[in-house]
Amino acid sequence: MKKFPFIARMLLLAASLIATSCSDGGPKTCQVPSVEGQKNNVIGKWKLMTMDRLMGRDGPVTIDLSCDNVIFHFMNDGTVTIHSDTEKYSDYGDEKLPYEWENPTLPATYGQLTINQLTWPAGVEEREMILDNSPLDWGRRILVRIE
């Protein structure tokens, strides 16, 4: 009978250690206010929130960038300025690059966004943009409109 309380206490201790370590170990998701814009219009400033890689050698990976500043500023002149303050994002550095946006043709919901010769299927909503090359294992990027 004395073994059971000892085992129960050890299990309780282990469970509390696991719960404590998990509470600080998860992603630090920051709330980012978005602004509403026109559907299928990329012009403006967008903040990169997450990057997903669905088929990595270690399985699916999601990188939370919501607390970092990775900003895409799409301008009317066909250029996008990309600024990143984190090492977690390495697709582009602080650069001004050419881009082309092709609106989706019905019934498709995704258009096509090309940044410096890299083409992404893209869904542009009023507050969110999804760049999705996951079928080719380039992953998926989710951005929110901030300006």
Q: What is the pLDDT along the chain (147 residues), one digit of tens a residue?
A: 445 454 444 444 333 333 333 333 345 589 999 999 999 999 999 999 998 877 667 778 888 999 999 999 999 999 999 998 888 776 667 789 999 999 988 777 899 999 999 899 999 999 999 999 877 666 899 999 999
Segment (H or E) for 25? helix 3-25
Distance CA 16, CA 94 (A): 44
Hey, is 104 helix, strand or coil?
coil
The one-letter amino acid at 73: H
Distance CA 15, CA 119 (A): 47
Whether 113 contacts 131, CB under 8 Å: yes
Token pair, residue 119, equals 């083409």
Please give the model's pTM, rounded to 2 decimal places: 0.75
